């Protein structure tokens, strides 16, 4: 192992978040190795989205530490201690974290190609032509080569989400967070998006994926995490967690997803 | 009463000169107002609290005082502290600053109403606040901002008539000059109304044309 591989892609320690009087994250610890695909499952309202948003500091956690590739996110070292990162410092720290949103959030005024190229140009400072060439390569990785000059409004939901994935991977972040990437899609479009993620995961992408697609989770996850009421209740390999969950709460949750296909599995 | 057509014939070329001045003032003040207004509007959305506060105070002051007083401030009060403009420039500056406050509010509102997911997506690729404003939010806000911006510029064009009180020879002043010699208020004020109406119509037509040429998102 090279020393670089020993630094986890993501290390979260004691992450907590309360909205008003509602505690949504309770002291969450999480470590993700480089190249690992972690799937997070859990009931609606269990805090999955909030966990991802706090990791990327789109939401500022109340307490807890986030390190990406060994570097702090959300705070900066000062002589004798730490202080909260400014908006500007956060913008730089966030470059290690990609985010794929449930509702895609593509830039509607830009073409598919420019949605991907804009970060390369404006954030990475790559010249326009080179940025576009590179953007086209990333779009090819998500099986989009024919629609480069279309605006988001002209694309299907599945195509839009794949552009959003290309936009995230183009920045070459250490880790990409997916928040229910297929739950805003018509059923027939889910597959093309999951296939794209599967290929990227096989290619070494590090990711945390929140999803309700259990068969996808089985196939793609190195580890599955079950969350409830803002805490990680149980985690393990897909075989262990789906096959023989230890916690009653996990078992009860998984019963909602019992499909013929899941029953047949050992 | 009957309309004195000969005076109208005499007035038309004289008023044309005033119209040119009104147009010149409107164009220059309009451009300045947009430049200042967009800058202030974006500053109001920055993450520097002091900047936001300064813009808010400025907008509050402009909206809380009559334009006429603002014109007097620039033309009569500033010279006292050594800043002197001729009457045309005093008028242009007062109008530009006045209108810029309203434009700043329009820009702030327009950019601020772009869906929050856009800002978050831009943050997620590591953009700085100013980059998010200029490359992501402002381009999306531009088209819906055209009608309210047109309203501000129309108000400003109408308000150029106030500059007659500091003797700027614009359309209203040109009309008053004719009235003072010939005493024909009915004909002249009617003409003035028609002139302004034509100007404003032209402006709103131009605005709709620009809006239709801008890409819908
Ligand atoms: N900005 C906010 N302000 C107040 N409450 C919030 C906010 N964001 C989330 N919450 C609350 O926190 C709880 C957890 O929300 P979260 O979106 O993280 O759940 P989730 O596990 O992603 O659910 P889902 O499966 O429905 O997406 C919910 O009860 C939600 O109402
Ligand atoms: Mg969620």
Contact B129 A87 (CB under 8 A): yes
pLDDT tops 90 at residue A5: no
Order of all β-strands in the sheet with A22-32: A22-32, A10-19, A63-68, A71-73
pLDDT tops 60 at residue A4: no
pLDDT tops 90 at residue A230: yes
> How far away is chain A from the Cα of B125, in angstroms, using its nearest Cα?
6
- Residue-wise pLDDT for B50-76, tens only, equals 999 999 999 999 999 999 999 999 999
Q: Are B208 and B137 in contact (CB under 8 A)?
A: no
Would you say domain B5-213 falls under CATH 1.10.3720.10? Answer: yes
Give CA–CA dist A126/A122, Å, rounded: 7
By DSSP bridging, strand A63-68 and strand A10-19 are antiparallel
Task: Give mean pLDDT, residues A191-207.
Answer: 96
The residues of chain B scoring below 70 in pLDDT are 1, 217
Closest approach atom of ligand 1 to CA A42: 21
Contact B127 A167 (CB under 8 A): no
Contacts of A167 in chain B (CB under 8 A): 121, 125
Per DSSP, chain A holds a count of helices (H) and strands (E) of: 11, 12
Tell me what pLDDT residue A229 has.
96
Closest approach atom of ligand 1 to CA A50: 18
Tell me what pLDDT residue A263 has.
45
Tell me what pLDDT residue B213 has.
87
ipTM exceeds 0.85, yes or no: yes
pLDDT tops 50 at residue A101: yes
The closest alpha carbon to B108, from B143, B141, B81, B69, belongs to B141
Name the pTM for this structure: 0.88
Nearest-CA residue for atom 5 of ligand 1? A19
Q: Are B67 and B94 in contact (CB under 8 A)?
A: yes
Handedness of CA A122, A127, A132, A135 (dihedral sign): negative
Task: Give mean pLDDT, residues A122-150.
Answer: 95
Q: Quick check: helix, strand or coil at residue A176?
A: strand
Tell me what pLDDT residue B2 has.
79
Closest approach atom of ligand 1 to CA A47: 18
pLDDT tops 60 at residue A225: yes
Q: State chain B's mean pLDDT as an integer.
A: 93
Nearest-CA residue for atom 8 of ligand 1? A50
Contact B125 A168 (CB under 8 A): yes
Ligand 1 neighbours, Cβ below 6 Å, are: A 19, 22, 24, 42, 44-50
pLDDT tops 80 at residue A22: yes
Residue matched to tokens 């908006």: A87
pLDDT band at A266 (very low <50, low <70, confident <90, very high): very low
> How far away is chain A from the Cα of B167, in angstroms, using its nearest Cα?
47
Return the structure tokens found at A229: 């009421």
pLDDT band at A3 (very low <50, low <70, confident <90, very high): low
Tell me what pLDDT residue A256 has.
82
pLDDT tops 80 at residue A65: yes
How far does residue A44's CA lie from ligand 2's centre (Å)? Answer: 7
Nearest residue of A to residue B47 by CA position?
A87
Tell me what pLDDT residue A262 has.
47
- Residue-wise pLDDT for B109-144, tens only, equals 999 999 999 999 999 999 999 999 999 999 999 999
Q: State chain A's mean pLDDT as an integer.
A: 93
From residue A252, alpha-carbon distances to A52, A226, A247, B45, B87 in Å are: 24, 11, 9, 47, 81
Nearest-CA residue for atom 9 of ligand 1? A50
Number of residues in chain A:
266
pLDDT band at A258 (very low <50, low <70, confident <90, very high): low
φ, ψ of residue A187 to 5 degrees: the values are -50, -40
Contact A88 B121 (CB under 8 A): no
Nearest-CA residue for atom 27 of ligand 1? A44
How far does residue B141's CA lie from ligand 2's centre (Å)? Answer: 28
Q: Which residues of A211-248 are buried (b: 16+ CB within 10 A; e: fewer)?
A: bbbbebbbebbebbbbbbebbbbbbbebeebbeebeee
A16-22: long-range contacts at Cβ-Cβ below 8 A with a sequence spacing of 24 or more? A16/A61, A16/A62, A16/A63, A16/A64, A17/A47, A17/A50, A17/A54, A17/A59, A17/A61, A17/A62, A17/A230, A18/A62
Q: Residue ranges of the domains in chain B?
A: 5-213
């Amino acid at each position: 192992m090279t020393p670089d591989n020993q630094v986890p892609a993501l290390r979260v320690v004691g992450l907590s978040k309360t909205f008003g009087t509602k505690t949504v994250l309770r002291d969450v610890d999480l470590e993700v190795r480089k190249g690992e695909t972690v799937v997070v499952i859990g009931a609606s309202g269990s805090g999955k989205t909030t966990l991802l948003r706090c990791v990327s500091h789109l939401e500022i956690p109340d307490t807890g530490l986030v390190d990406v590739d060994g570097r702090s996110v959300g705070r900066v070292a000062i002589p004798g201690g730490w202080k909260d990162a400014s908006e500007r410092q956060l913008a730089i720290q966030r470059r290690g974290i990609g985010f794929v949103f449930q509702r895609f959030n593509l830039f509607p005024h830009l073409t598919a190609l420019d949605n991907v190229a804009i970060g390369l140009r404006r954030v990475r400072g790559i010249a326009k032509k080179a940025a576009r060439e590179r953007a086209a390569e990333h779009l090819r990785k998500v099986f989009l080569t024919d629609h480069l000059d279309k605006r988001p409004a002209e694309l299907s939901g599945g195509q839009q989400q794949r552009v959003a994935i290309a936009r995230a991977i183009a920045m070459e972040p250490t880790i990409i967070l997916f928040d229910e990437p297929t739950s805003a899609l018509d059923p027939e479009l889910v597959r093309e998006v999951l296939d794209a993620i599967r290929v990227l995961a096989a290619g070494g992408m590090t990711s945390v994926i929140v999803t309700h697609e259990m068969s996808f989770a089985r196939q793609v996850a190195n580890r599955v995490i079950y969350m409830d009421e803002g805490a990680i209740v149980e985690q393990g390999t897909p075989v262990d967690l789906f096959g023989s969950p230890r916690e009653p709460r996990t078992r009860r949750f998984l019963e909602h997803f019992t499909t013929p296909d899941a029953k047949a599995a050992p | 009463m009957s309309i004195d057509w000969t005076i109208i014939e005499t007035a038309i070329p004289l008023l044309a000169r005033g119209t040119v001045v009104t147009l010149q003032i409107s164009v220059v003040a309009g451009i300045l107002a947009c430049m200042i207004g967009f800058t202030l509007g974006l500053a109001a959305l920055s993450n520097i609290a002091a900047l936001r506060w300064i813009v808010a105070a400025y907008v509050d002051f402009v909206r809380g005082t009559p334009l006429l007083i603002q014109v007097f401030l620039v033309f009569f009060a500033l010279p006292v502290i050594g800043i002197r403009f001729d009457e045309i420039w005093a008028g242009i500056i007062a109008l530009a600053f006045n209108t810029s406050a309203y434009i700043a509010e329009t820009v702030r509102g327009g950019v601020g109403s772009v869906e929050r997911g856009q800002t978050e997506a831009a943050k997620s690729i590591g953009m700085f606040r100013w980059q998010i404003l200029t490359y992501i939010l402002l381009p999306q806000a531009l088209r819906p901002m055209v009608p309210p911006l047109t309203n501000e510029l129309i108000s400003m064009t109408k308000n150029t008539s106030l500059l007659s009180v500091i003797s700027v020879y614009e359309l209203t002043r040109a009309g008053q000059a004719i009235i003072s010699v010939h005493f024909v208020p009915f004909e002249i004020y009617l003409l003035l109304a028609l002139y302004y109406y034509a100007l404003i119509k032209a402006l709103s037509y131009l605005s709709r044309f620009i809006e239709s040429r801008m890409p819908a998102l």
